[in-house]
Amino acid sequence: MADRRIYIDKAPGETRGVVTLDGRPERLLIEREGESWPRLGLRSRARVALVDRALGLAVLDLGQGREASLRLKADRPPPVQGQSLDIEIAIEPQGGKPAVARVLPAEAVGDAAPQTLEQRLALLVPGSPVILGAEARALADEAEEEALAVEHALGGGASMAVEPTRALTAVDVDLGSAGGDGKRAARQANLTALTALGRLLRLKALGGLVVVDLVGRGHDGPAFARTAQGAFAADQPGVVIGPVTKFGTLELALPRRYRPLRELLCDGAGRPTVQTLALRLVRAIERQARATPGDRLRVRCAPEIAAAAAASAETLKGIIGARFEVVPDPTLRSEQWDIATP
């Protein structure tokens, strides 16, 4: 039976929630101060801003400058502009597109919706106690690193690359230096990859079309399909698994629900945003301060990182004391910083 646990890391400016599956990060939920978007499961009253029958959708005004789209249904009369609707977010905003909402049935209106990160994690793993502290910080850091990685080791020298594109997520299984019987090693690498892929795509919050380029030839289609069904059971309903094609690929369709982690943590070029780096710096300052209690610290970083970290750094001073000074240094790149005693 799968062992899932919840960890919450609370740091200045950011709270990260992690669900682990048998000790490995499976989901990473992030809330940052000053950032807000329509999250999965959010229920609210919305106003119909526009109805486009040709496109089959309505644009909803959620307030506070936020929008969502509503897909029109052929068996129901469309809403009218200006109408108020009770809705629930079914898909978070992603790929430059707004969130997707559904109209709540009358009997569900007024029900409590999960609002806090703790409540949303509890829906994923009901009844699990929350683990805090250093262990949660370490797991959140591990989850963030793995969520942004492209290459993932499978053991025995085999690896898997997971690369999202605009149209689909491409997955490539590589036998690498895996030894032994070539056909047997290829089969084992493919089975291991499919088992790991479910966890990794949930961690990265990726959905839509997924194409897996399997390694080797003469694939055992039924065995691979069974493995994929087990790996993606947690994503049901909505998962469709195709047969292995004559080109040696396995295709899956996964429901899109969450905003991809890369969109939250990185810019359009795939580099960590200034805010992501600033929050990492604040955590690094806290880690160093706790490792050397009593020492004063001088922190040098790029000017844009210093500016982005200012508010969180002030919050940190309220936790560990005003034991550090952040000095902008234009000679440093955004991803560089130095923490030392004066």
pLDDT for res 59: 94
Give the pLDDT of residue 181: 62
Q: What residues make up the domain containing 76? A: 43-108
In a domain, 120, yes or no: no
Q: CB of 200 within 8 A of CB of 219? A: no
Residue 266 in domain: no
Output the CA torsion sign for 270, 136, 284, 314.
positive
Strand pairing partners for 119? none
* 117: in domain: no
- CATH at 197: 3.40.630
Is residue 168 included in any domain, yes or no?
A: yes
Give the SS3 label for residue 11: strand
Whether 113 maps to a domain, the answer reads no
User: What secondary structure letter does DSSP report for 232?
Assistant: T
The reply to whether 198 and 243 lie within a common domain is: yes
For each of the chain's 342 residues, which pLDDT tens digit applies? 679 999 999 999 999 999 999 999 999 999 999 888 889 988 889 999 999 998 999 999 998 889 999 999 888 888 999 999 999 999 999 988 999 999 988 776 666 565 789 988 998 999 999 999 999 999 999 999 999 999 999 988 899 999 999 899 999 999 887 666 678 888 899 999 999 999 999 999 999 999 999 988 878 888 999 999 999 999 999 999 999 999 999 999 999 999 999 999 999 888 999 999 999 999 999 999 999 988 999 999 999 999 999 999 999 999 999 999 999 999 999 999 999 987
Same domain, 32 and 58: no
**Whether residues 162 and 254 fall in one domain:** yes
Vertex 299 angle, CA 295 and 303, to 5°: 165
By the 10 Å C-beta count (0-12 exposed, 13-18 middle, 19+ buried), 127 is classed as exposed
| pLDDT for position 178 | 63
| The pair of three-digit structure tokens given for residue 46, joined into one six-digit string | 């919305």
271 Cβ contact partners less than 8 Å away, ≥ 6 residues apart: none
Residue 32 and residue 49 in one domain? no
Q: Count structural domains, the chain.
A: 4
Q: DSSP code of 94?
A: B
Angle at 105 between CA 100 and CA 111, to 5 degrees: 90
How high is the pLDDT of residue 250? 94
Torsion of CA 192, 250, 100, 25, to 10 degrees: 10
Structure tokens at 180: 């032994």
- Retrieve residue 195's tokens: 């088992």
Asked if 193 and 225 sit in the same domain, the reply is: yes
pLDDT of residue 294: 84
